[in-house]
Amino acid sequence: MFIEPNIKGERRGWIEVICGSMFSGKTEELIRRLKRAMIANLKVKIFKPSMDVRFDEAKIVSHDTNSIISTPIDHSSQILELADDADVVALDEVQFFDDDITEICDELAFRGIRVIVAGLDMDYQGKPFGPVPSLLAKADYVTKLHAICVQCGHIANYSYRKTPNQEKIMLGEKDVYEPRCRRCYLLDGKID
């Protein structure tokens, strides 16, 4: 779907955003694109927020246990130093990064780097999540993926939280979240 950034020696940068609910396949799609970039012998740098320790401290791991090694970082400013010589820069769980991440991705793209980010577009309340809305505005390419609603089998774009915890950030899996369609999410009174 995406051409690689070095055509006839000319470097072109851009931003790709992969978004959607939990279980929609964001991490699998990110890993797929990164493996293709590696096959093309491009220099790939992969980052994730250090707070996301769900499956592994360093690896990016999908719900189907596909994985790829990454560098955990605490602040987006570390990316500019660590990714300077990269052809491709990738970030998973981008909703957890600080707000500077959007300008940093833009700067990398202007430097000729292909930037691929994956993350939740909405939190469990159905509200835009962290820097993802501004990344969507700056993106050259947007892919919105959908899970399957566990209640009715339709297309799901909400991440329903099954516990009463109201903190915006709460790491978890199927024990805490389930993907739901608009109707099944609404039936539980999550939208005012």
Ligand X SMILES: Nc1ncnc2c1ncn2[C@@H]1O[C@H](COP(=O)(O)OP(=O)(O)O)[C@@H](O)[C@H]1O
Can you tell me the distance from the alpha carbon of 64 to that of 27, in angstroms, rounded to the nearest whole number?
Answer: 10
**108 binding ligand LXEULUCI? (CB under 6 A):** no
Tell me, residue by residue from 39 to 58, as one string, x for binding to ligand LXEULUCI by CB under 6 A and - for no binding: ---------------x----
Beta-strand relationship, 59-61 and 67-69: antiparallel
Q: Tell me the window of 21-29, 91-99, 141-149, 168-176 that interacts with Zn ion (CB under 5 A).
A: 141-149
Neighbours of 13 (CB within 10 A): 20
**Binder of Zn ion out of 151, 155, 172, 190 (CB under 5 A):** 151
134 appears as a binding residue in the annotation: no
93 is catalytic: yes
Give me the helices (H) in the chain, please. Answer: 26-39, 77-82, 101-110, 132-138, 182-187
d(CA 7, CA 121): 32
Positions touching ligand LXEULUCI (CB under 6 A) are 22, 26-27, 54, 120, 123-124, 159, 168-172, 177
Annotated binding residues, written as ranges, equal 20-27, 92-95, 149, 152, 169-172, 177, 181, 184
